[in-house]
Amino acid sequence: MEILVSGSLAFDRIMDFPGRFADHILPDKIHILNVCFTVNGLTEKFGGTAGNIAYSLCLLGERPRILSAVGRDFEPYRQWLSDHGLPLDGIRIVAEELTASAYITTDRSDNQITGFNPGAMRHPCTAELKAADAGESALAIIAPGNLEDMVRLSGRCREMGIPYLCDPGQAIPALSAEALVAMITGARLLISNDYELELIRQKTGLTVPDLLTRTPAVITTLAEKGSVVVAPDGETHIPAVPAHPVADPTGAGDAYRAGLLKGLADGRTLVAAARMGAACASFAVEHHGTQVHHFENHEFLRRLALAEGGTPT
């Protein structure tokens, strides 16, 4: 089964400020704020929702097709994806733009100041779904990225009978209520964290029971508290799989989605697939960065046994 991943590809440029922002910001002068923070260097990491999900799927033995747009500076990221055997034919290069990038500065108190340049993400990827993907031969996720892509590709999935996961995430504030409802309606499931679910409810006016008339299931991730799978036949809590150590929760949600997709592609039940998501997410939180974790199949199976309540072998 081919897995299609629509979303963003971005560079995460991370900087460490050795002091505290609060020591350099004068509250009574906030209306004329003009500050400069000298940082201890810059680390560049690969990120973006589509890249993060595809990377973890690669660790799980899949080679998903990424649908996204990037800029003229994409070469190091392209090489990274190519080195992992990921197909590149669904990625559009916009020569006049830079690849989307987040500039994140963190101080000693773990406060962050982030600047985000959407760059090429402002442009749709223009990739078309292949006729061979029609029906149950493919599985897709529509993750946060270019808004036009999110609406168009979810519509194309419905037209072609391709099951897709609706994952609006950070794009919720920018999507209209009508577009959001259209994306959810007909999806295989809706996945979000608890804060995003509340945004969806406020924007659309739909309760969870209302949402279940439009999609068969709603999955809500709850960070260290695990996740909840809600379907018409009931609600199942999926505990988080312990991670040692917990270094950085960033990217755990994308890793969860990768495990979930892998489970569904393998024909597992939704609850069993969600447990795979929990196992995959546990590796991501043990590292700083969203495409830094790594595991072998036997290591994943040990974590999966924990997720299933068994004894690791």
| Beta partners for residue 13, in sequence order | 44, 103
Active-site residue identified among 12, 107, 167, 254? 254
Contacts of 164 (CB under 8 A, 6+ apart): 4, 139, 140, 141, 142, 153, 154, 157, 158, 187, 188
Residues near 216 by Cβ (< 8 Å), separated by ≥ 6?
188, 189, 231, 232
SS (H, E, C) 106-153: ECCCCCEEEEEECHHHHCCCCCCCCHHHCHHHEEEEECCCCHHHHHHH
Q: Which residues pair with 219 in a beta bridge?
A: 191, 229
Could you tell me the two tokens for 276? 């795979």
Cis peptide before 239 (omega within 30 of 0): no
Q: How far is CA 289 from CA 7, 44, 240, 275, in A?
A: 18, 10, 19, 22
d(CA 64, CA 167) in angstroms, rounded, equals 17
254 is catalytic: yes
Which residues form the catalytic set?
254
